[in-house]
Amino acid sequence: MCPLWLALLATSYSGLVLGQTYSQDDINSGKALQQMSKIAYDTSMKRLEGSTSNCTKDTVHVRKEWRNIPGPERIAYRKAVECLMQQPNVYQNISAGPKSMFDSFGVLHYYLTPYVHNSAYFLLFHRLYIWTYEQKLRNLCGYTGSFPYWEWGLDAGGVEKSPIFDGSETSMGSNGAKVGGGGFGFGGSGGGCVTTGPFKNYTVNFGPNTARNPLAPNPRCLKRDLNTAMCATYASLRNTTETILQSPDVESFQANVQGDFRYPAARKWAMAVHGGGHFTIAGDPGGDFYFSPLEPVFYLHHGSIDRMYWIWSQLDWAKRQTMAGTITMMNQPRSRNGTLDDVLDIKPVGGSFKFRELLDTVGGTPFCFVYE
C-alpha cells in the first residue's frame, strides 16, 4: 500500500471553488485556505444584513486562531478553563471519578462516542459540543474573549515550538517529559507528564477507556507526546485545504475529514485531519478516543474541525445544508439513516436541539459565531 506522504507528493493539481482556481503552491502555503475562509466569512456576514434575530453583525462572536488572540486574552481563556475545572460535575450518582463541570464534558463524550463518530451526527454534534463548552466558560467563569481554534498546519514545522504548547504563561502548557519507548505512529517527542506552564498541575480524574470501570476514580497527571511528523503528514495546510476542495457533498466531506476507510476516496487521507490533530497531541487522555475531551486542547482541535466544516458549507451554502450516514459508528450495529429532524439532546451538560437548528452558525438558534 502506498504511504500517505508518497501519495501526497504524487498529487499535483489545481483546486477550484466558486470559479476560483488555486495553484498547488497556494494550497500548500495556506493562501488558498485563507481565501476560502474570507469567502466563508463574507457569506456568513451577508446573511446577517438586516437580521431581526438575536444574532447580528454587532453581536456575532468571531472565533480566532490561538496565535491571533492577544496574550492577556489567552491567559483569560486558560483561567476560565481552570475555573471550569472547579465547577460542580452535573452527572450525579454515576461514579466518584468525575469531579467537575470540565469532567462532565468527558462523561458526555464517553457516553455518546459510539453514535457521534463516523456517523451522520459527527459534524453537528461536535459543533454543539464545543459551543456548549464555550457557553460554560462564559456563563460560569466570566470569559469574554474570542473562542480559540488551532490551525494545525501552522505548526507542521515543529509542534513543540507552537504558542499553544511552548509552556509559556500564554500557552496551554508544555509537551510531556521525554520518556523512552516512542509514541504513537511516528513516535512523539514527549510521552510523560506536562512539565511546565499551565496545566502542569492539572489532575485527570478518571479514564482511560480501557479500564474495567472507565468512570471510576483514577487520578493522574496530564501526559502529552507531541508529534511533529504526525502533524506534517496528516494535518498540514495542504491536507486541510485539499480535504475541503475534494469533498463535493457532506458524505464525502465527513469521510475525508475522518479518513473513513469505508469510502475508497477517503482512504488516501489515512488518519486524516481529525485523527492527525488528535495524535499530534497524543498522550493521556489526548490519545484516548473516548476521553480525549479531558485534554484541554481538545476544544481548540475540534474548533479547527468545525472551522473546516464552516468553510466547506459556506462555499456552496444552498446545497450544503444536509446530513448523510447512519446513527451508529461505522454503522455498527446496523442502524437507520440520520435526519435533520432527529433531536440531539446533551442534557444535563447542555440543551436539546433538532440537528437542522445546528447548521447555521449565525442562525441565532442557538449559534451566533463565525471564524476569522
Cα 205 to Cα 57, 95, 332, 347: the distances in Å are 41, 11, 30, 21
Residue 50, domain extent: 20-371
Summarize the confidence of residues 115-139 as an average pLDDT: 98
User: Pairing state of beta strands 15-17 and 203-204?
Assistant: unpaired
Predicted local confidence at residue 189, as pLDDT: 95
Q: Which residues contact 361 (CB under 8 A, 6 or more apart)?
A: 44, 127, 310, 367, 368, 369, 370
Q: What is the pLDDT of residues 214-265, one digit of tens each?
A: 999 999 999 999 999 999 999 999 999 999 999 999 999 999 999 999 999 9
Distance CA 28, CA 279 (A): 21
Question: pLDDT above 70 covers what percent of the chain?
Answer: 93
Residue 82 lies in a domain: yes
Cβ pair 156, 236 in contact under 8 A: yes
Confidence of residue 187 (pLDDT cuts 50, 70, 90): confident
Q: What is the pLDDT of residues 348-361, one digit of tens each?
A: 999 999 999 999 99
pLDDT at 12 over 60: no
Summarize the confidence of residues 166-180 as an average pLDDT: 96
Predicted local confidence at residue 220, as pLDDT: 98
Predicted local confidence at residue 20, as pLDDT: 72
Confidence of residue 46 (pLDDT cuts 50, 70, 90): very high
Q: What is the DSSP annotation of 126-171? A: HHHHHHHHHHHHHHHH---SPPEE--GGGGTT-GGGSTTTS-STTS
Distance CA 134, CA 157 (A): 29
Confidence of residue 92 (pLDDT cuts 50, 70, 90): confident
With cell 445544508, the residue in question is 321
Predicted local confidence at residue 2, as pLDDT: 37
Predicted local confidence at residue 14, as pLDDT: 42
The total number of structural domains in the chain stands at 1
Residue 8 lies in a domain: no
pLDDT, mean over the chain: 93
User: Pairing state of beta strands 15-17 and 20-22?
Assistant: antiparallel
2-23 CB burial, b ≥16 within 10 A, e <16: eebeeebeeeeeebebeeeebe
- Specify the DSSP element, H or E, that contains 65: strand 61-65
Question: pLDDT above 90 covers what percent of the chain?
Answer: 90
Residue 14 lies in a domain: no
CATH number of domain containing 64 = 1.10.1280.10
Please state which of the ranges 141-150, 174-183, 192-201 shows the lowest mean pLDDT.
174-183
How does DSSP classify residue 22?
E
Predicted local confidence at residue 8, as pLDDT: 32
Predicted local confidence at residue 186, as pLDDT: 66
Q: Which one, of 160, 147, 156, 127, lies nearest residue 68 by Cα?
A: 147
Residue 9 lies in a domain: no
Burial level of 73, CB count in 10 A (0-12/13-18/19+)? middle
Predicted local confidence at residue 18, as pLDDT: 56
Q: What is the pLDDT of residues 300-340, one digit of tens each?
A: 999 999 999 999 999 999 999 999 999 999 999 999 999 99
pLDDT at 184 over 80: no
Predicted local confidence at residue 270, as pLDDT: 95
The CA radius of gyration of the chain, in Å to the nearest whole number, is 20
Predicted local confidence at residue 273, as pLDDT: 98
